[in-house]
Amino acid sequence: MKIAFIGSGNMASALIGGLVRRGASAADLCAIDPDEAARARVAQQFGIRTGATADAVLATCDAIVLAVKPQIVKGVAEALAPWLSSSQLVISIAAGIRSADLSRWLNGHARIVRVMPNTPALIGMGAAGLFAGSSVDDAGRALATNVLGAVGQTVWVEDEAKIDAVTAISGSGPAYVFYVIEALEEAARRLGLDAQQSRALVLATFAGATQLAQQSDDAPSVLRERVTSKGGTTAAALAAFDAAGIKEALIRGALAADARAREMGDESGAQ
């Protein structure tokens, strides 16, 4: 399985590293990036071939991963198009770029998988949503699952519009978690704990609660109820959260992210 990465930033590096750790040969991976420093970094770190521009080596690849910023995808795709064959799989991790628009920029290339990963992929604990149209067969889906599965969990959706929902929940989701961590660390400091104590307690609590939720068959609401004694400290905190509308605010935030993802798709498609 030969894979070319167009772009060699953080997400591409995470995927390359994940594949290498899973046994992929460095000789079967390459990265194309105009940034000389970025090329040198991935070449040194992973021992893979690199290049500044698309060239004939792309014709030998089974999959090409577009790992560039959404703003430049159109130009990158148009430069890539002459090197593509109809059998190759294109995996796009560019946020907001719809399959139909990418296909148009790739001169009608149809074997496209659209992916929304998230930043925990950098430590091999990512969550990625994937979508493929009817032109992608089971082998193509398996290949994409293998690539993204190298850095975490994968979930396939059958409606491309749901990639916007994936973006709103898991794509942007780490920022929501960090936001709550910030708030709890500040509360801990206001209560007299120092910065080191605050960080240790909050991070351990998040990690432990997440693991408990993963290992339990019970819904989060049931787990929450088990921690909440009537008239106790947890009940007081949750009552304050409810009075401030925090749960609904989090839901509205995720819905706003979904709406913005759809707007970005419209803006990109107008190019």
270 pLDDT above the threshold of 80: no
Q: What is the pLDDT of residues 186-225, one digit of tens each?
A: 999 999 999 999 999 999 999 999 999 999 999 999 999 9
Instruction: Give the Cα separation of 198 and 155 in Å (integer).
Output: 34
Beta pairing, strands 49-51 & 152-156 = unpaired
Q: Dihedral through CA 165, CA 144, CA 150, CA 71, nearest 10? A: -60
Structure tokens belonging to residue 216: 């339990």
Instruction: Give the Cα separation of 216 and 234 in Å (integer).
Output: 21
Instruction: Give the Cα separation of 4 and 58 in Å (integer).
Output: 7
Q: What is the pLDDT of residues 127-179, one digit of tens each?
A: 999 999 999 999 999 999 999 999 999 999 999 999 999 999 999 999 999 99
Q: What is the pLDDT of residues 56-98, one digit of tens each?
A: 888 889 999 999 999 999 999 999 999 999 899 999 999 889 9
Walk me through the domains of the chain, giving residue ranges and CATH numbers. Answer: 3-160 (3.40.50.720), 173-262 (1.10.3730.10)
pTM of this structure:
0.90
